[in-house]
Amino acid sequence: MLNASNGATVLERITPYKLEVVQGNVLTKELVARVKPGMPRAQVRDLLGSPLLTDPFHAERWDYVFTIKRQGTIYQQRKVVALFDGETLKSLEVPADLPSENEFVAAISSKAERREPPKLELSEAERKALPVPVKPAAAAAEAIGPVRAYPPLENKS
């Protein structure tokens, strides 16, 4: 195989497309801070969304699980557990690594998205450094290619 500039073969540099998989509710520090013990289930659902897991055998527990697998970023998984006492929230188990909204957006941005955007305009100095365009010689009066004559569209008789 042909060697690329870094010594890898062409086939080693080609990577297949990997499907982006996002599951669950995105929960951030800001969202979780709005939830307080003593809130009714309906209000918790309004603030955090429907839980990914509800178990009929553990009706007092809601599991909010979030996973994302995206090409160019690290795999992420977080779990927040809401524990209820009847119809009111007793406590919320939050992982220590729960990100803020800005941290979450930065964590899911792939390497390709972080690169510098392409330059779309030249500066005045770069324009002056460009070579002066050469004007083409005077165009010949002759037509280039075959000359065609078409019959008139209307009959004038």
Give tens-digit pLDDT for 60-105: 999 998 888 877 777 888 899 999 999 999 999 999 888 888 888 8
The answer as to whether 106 is a domain residue is yes
Q: Which residues pair with residue 24 across a beta bridge?
A: 66
pLDDT at 30: 92
- Would you say residue 13 has pLDDT above 90? no
pTM: 0.56
Among the listed residues 43, 64, 40, the one whose alpha carbon sits nearest the alpha carbon of residue 52? 64
In a domain, 83, yes or no: yes
| Residue 148 within any structural domain of the chain | no
- Higher-confidence residue of 154 and 26: namely 26
Residue 40 belongs to domain with CATH number: 3.30.1450
Side chain identity, residue 132? V
Q: 119 lies in a domain? A: no
Q: Is residue 76 part of a domain?
A: yes
Q: Compute the radius of gyration of the chain from its Cα atoms.
A: 32
Please state the domain count of the chain. 1
* 87, part of any domain: yes
What is the extent of the structural domain holding 104?
Answer: 19-110
Element at 125 (helix H, strand E): helix 124-129
More confident: 14 or 137? 14
Give the residue among 92, 91, 64 at the shortest CA–CA distance from 78.
64
H or E element, residue 5: none
In this model, does residue 141 exceed pLDDT 60? no
Whether residue 92 is contained in a domain is answered as yes
